[in-house]
Structure 1
Amino acid sequence: MTRIALVTGASRGLGRSAARHIAQRGSDLILTYQNRAEDAAAVVEEIEAMGRKALAFQLDTGDVATFAPFAETLRGALRRTWQRDTFDHLVNNAGHGDHALIADTTEAQFDRLVDVHFKGVYFLTQALLPLLADGGRIVNLSSGLTRVSFPGYAAYAAAKGAVEVLSLYLAKELGSRGIAVNTVAPGAIETDFGGGAVRDNPEINRVFASMTALGRVGVPDDIGPMIASLLSEDNRWINAQRIEVSGGQAI
């Protein structure tokens, strides 16, 4: 039976790369996007060109009230497209960056970061658990910034740290269903995250490259294949792990 993976925030960056590489390994895809419908449609076309099925749905992963309706929409899509009631893999990737020193962080900035990166992951996963197949996988995205500090990312990193703890508890509570849960923590990556700071600001790029053993910052295709491999049967015994994919950042 063909496996089905759901990747949130898959219209760009790491989510797009993960979706493409998951499809290359033979899975069908369900993608979510917040406001980039055209970009999401382009990813669907890429995946369909590989001979896989793909659907894209709008979802704000910071808005818990939309999760129950989304789960029902997903249930209907699974039945119509795959004649199934479940999907196999959940990749909680959607997110954003907001750079502010602790002294300057507003409550609105803090709340949005927590809503998207922690509360949203918690309650979206909860809403989708009845649709996640036994023996499935969950991958939650964290950050290298939970291990090393960089001024201006305290709220973001704290929310990601909470996700790392959540992953451990999910692995414990879902183990009886054969569901493995892991965290992937990328280092600095050239995407439009945080306004494209690492990609577009030469000084920030240089600083992070100098901190990295392999001498450069990452690109999305340094991360996407790793996520795809973590979902494969080759890695079925990896569970409850935080896996940093950073080229050796700050070692």
Structure 2
Amino acid sequence: MGARGLEGKVALVTGGSRGIGRAIAERFSRDGATVAVAYARDETAAYEVVERIRKNGGQAFALRAELGRHGDAASLWAAFDAQIGEHAPDGSVDIIVNNAGIGRSSDLASLTEEQFDEVFAVNVRAPFFIVQEGLKRLRDGGRIINISSGAARLAMPEIIAYGATKGALDTFTLNLAKELGPRGITANSVAPGVIDTDVNASWLRGNPEAEAHAASLSALGRVGQPEDVADIVAFLASDDARWVTGRVIDATGGSCL
């Protein structure tokens, strides 16, 4: 087990069944938190994460939360409420990580209204209402961590709507920090670059040329791993980050400097 700075804490991680979300859930567990692993469709993957955490001595439970439709936040928290009593009798949460998101986006010429609405519904509207619904459960001194993207600060016309959603998420983070500061709640964004996850597998893995190009974007000369992001999130969730709020933490490995 790693350093245990989150003992007695409860964390909700959306998109927690794979990739960055899975790495965050597992890191939180190693640090002592009980983790609610929220997933959209892949039940098998979510329960694999939960079982792995439990086998390593941690506490976790899975809950289904398909985002992108009206009422999704209420459904997520209803699923949370139905299970949290086994772990935290008061039904509270200490850490909310809005990690779930979709990258489906096109350039300006080909993006449809339906695609635009979908990416904004999952990447912006869902986190907004997850936080709104969750505030009554979030303890004073809690943490809100939104997973943004380096695409919010770089011109990437080929994924124009996706980048716009992450810019909106960063603005949401800034306003949360101001509004919730009196309760001792911090709100920060973490902005990864290219990370070796299933989402990028189709073009990255097994393609030496693509991997070399992705690595060349980083000042550190390699492709990022989910754990690289999870460790930053774990810091922001800890008491060590109590004086950091309203910030976008670059997690791109120094990409495009």
Normalising by the residue count of structure 1, what TM-score does the alignment of the two structures yield? 0.94
2:207 maps to 1:192: no
Give the whole-Å Cα distance in 2 for the aligned partners of 1:200 and 1:111: 33
2:124 maps to 1:118: yes
Give the whole-Å Cα distance in 1 for the aligned partners of 2:88 and 2:100: 24
Name the SS for the 2:32 alignment partner. coil
Query: Aligned residue pairs: how many?
Result: 251
Cα RMSD of the aligned pairs, angstroms, is 1.6
Aligned to 2:103: 97
Aligned to 1:109: 115
Aligned to 2:74: 68
Query: Which segment is superposed worse, 196-205 or 173-182?
Result: 196-205
Amino acid at match of 2:232: M
Name the SS for the 2:156 alignment partner. coil
2:216 maps to 1:210: yes
Name the SS for the 2:255 alignment partner. coil
Equivalent runs, 1:142-221 vs 2, <5 Å: 142-193=148-199, 196-199=202-205, 201-221=207-227
Aligned to 2:16: 10
Q: What is the CA-CA distance between 1:126 and the residue it aligns to?
A: 0.8
Aligned to 2:231: 225
Aligned to 1:59: 65
Q: Could you list the runs of 5+ residues in structure 2 that have no partner in the other structure?
A: 1-6
Q: Percent identity between the aligned chains?
A: 39
Name the SS for the 2:126 alignment partner. helix
Q: What is the CA-CA distance between 1:64 and the residue it aligns to?
A: 3.0
Give the whole-Å Cα distance in 2 for the aligned partners of 1:139 and 1:19: 13
CA contact (8 A) 1:8 1:91 kept: yes
Aligned to 1:44: 50
2:254 maps to 1:248: yes
1:52/1:84 CA distance change after superposition, 3 Å: farther
Q: What is the CA-CA distance between 1:229 and the residue it aligns to?
A: 1.7
Match of 1:23 among 29, 50, 59: 29
1:111/1:198 CA distance change after superposition, 3 Å: farther
Query: Which segment is superposed worse, 156-165 or 75-84?
Result: 75-84
Name the SS for the 2:91 alignment partner. coil
Q: What is the CA-CA distance between 1:132 and the residue it aligns to?
A: 0.9
1:201/1:142 CA distance change after superposition, 3 Å: farther
Query: Which segment is superposed worse, 224-233 or 38-47?
Result: 224-233
CA contact (8 A) 1:75 1:131 kept: no
Name the SS for the 2:109 alignment partner. helix
Give the whole-Å Cα distance in 2 for the aligned partners of 1:196 and 1:219: 16
